[in-house]
Amino acid sequence: MVLLWGALAAANEVRPATGPVDGLGLPPTDLARVAVGTAAPDFALEGQDGEVVRLSGFRGRRNVVLSFYRGHW
């Protein structure tokens, strides 16, 4: 009975909302700095395997699609 009461109390707890936002309250970004048709600036990120990957490393090899997203999991 106590376990059931504890589970019900936790289920009714008010928690702040998480997940995607509309972006209206976010600060402006540097998106305006790179116009359509302009080369993207070089940057480096760590891959899932721990190796550093540079955008410039793909130059001349093939088309590159960049997709940035926020993972909420």
Domain ranges, ordered by start, for the chain: 15-24+39-72
Q: Answer whether residue 14 shows pLDDT above 70.
A: no
Of 21, 18, 5, the closest CA to residue 72 belongs to 18
The token pair at 58 is: 């793909």
With 0.75 as the threshold, say if the pTM is over it.
no
Per-residue model confidence as pLDDT tens digits over 17-69? 565 555 566 566 655 566 778 878 888 988 889 999 999 998 888 788 877 77
